[in-house]
Structure 1
Amino acid sequence: MVIKVFLATSSGSTAIKKKQQDVVGFLEALKIEYMQLDIASNEENRLWMRENVPGEKKPTNGIPLPPQIFNGEDYCGDYDTFFDAKEGNQVFEFLGLPPPPGSKKKASRQDENKDEEEDEAKEEDDQQVSEEEEDAPASEEEEDEEADAEDEED
């Protein structure tokens, strides 16, 4: 799916312009495919954005301001939630995208606990193998070598 960023190209607010530039610049830096949809010059875009921002995410006046970010039809968030995700290295999760190959995904507590359990189980297996090696009878070659060494001593 394509990321949709709803913007107002003719906004009089410098704060809104800076927020829009921050979102677009960050997406470009990460080479994330996106499309800009202008709500100032296109009534359909403005109405679609306003209708599709969930009620609990709308400001108290009921009119969401740009930038608003969607992954296809799914609402991702506004600038503040984007900024929080960016600061927490969770932009791909915020956008509903898989992280790029080779990136470090922040492990959840559940993943960390699972890794710890796997490490403990591996250590127990390794310990058991080394104990078995100590108890294992020597090979015929080793026994022959030991016998030869004893014969030489005599």
Structure 2
Amino acid sequence: MVIRVFIASSSGKLSIKKQQQDLLGLLNVLHIDFEQHDIAVNEEDRRYMREHVPPDHCPPSGIPLPPQVFNGEKYCGDYESFFDAKETNSVYAFLGLTPPPGSKEAAALAEQS
């Protein structure tokens, strides 16, 4: 499966820009392959993101905001979920990926077994 990150390149909200940079930066640092989908320039990507984010993960307005993360067709979460995973060293679990040997997450899984 491919990790797909839905972003908005022309967002006027500084908080969204920072969240996108944080998420994409960590994926790059961890050498996790991903596809970036810009909802600001591609209507099909915008429609897909809005239709596939579960209703219980949408804000009160009902319209999900980027960044949103999917593993293939499976919804992983929004920035808040990603941030929580980052703080608890469970980014690979958040993404539905097997952690690489030697990572903190792999060591934590080994301790649990």
Is the TM value for this pair above 0.5?
A: yes
**Residue aligning to 2:3:** 3
Number of equivalenced pairs: 111
Kindly indicate which of the two structures has a greater share of residues assigned to strand: 2
**Residue aligning to 2:89:** 89
Distance 1:109 1:57 in 2: 31
Consecutive unaligned residues in structure 1, runs of 5 or more? 112-154
Distance 1:60 1:108 in 2: 39
Higher relative contact order (CA 8 A, sep 6+): 2
Distance 1:87 1:110 in 2: 18
Deviates more, 1:44-53 or 1:98-107: 98-107
Structure 1 stretches of 4+ moved >6 Å = none
Kindly indicate which of the two structures has a greater share of residues assigned to helix: 1
- Structure 2 counterpart of 1:24, one-letter code: L
TM-score, scaled to structure 2: 0.93
Consecutive unaligned residues in structure 2, runs of 5 or more? none
Deviation of the 1:110 alpha carbon:
6.3
Distance 2:86 2:11 in 1: 24
Taking only aligned residues, the RMSD between alpha carbons, in angstroms, comes to 1.5
**Residue aligning to 2:58:** 58
TM-score, scaled to structure 1: 0.69
- Structure 1 counterpart of 2:94, one-letter code: F
Deviation of the 1:107 alpha carbon:
3.8
Change (3 A) 1:13 1:97: same
Q: Which structure has the larger Rg over C-alpha atoms? A: 1
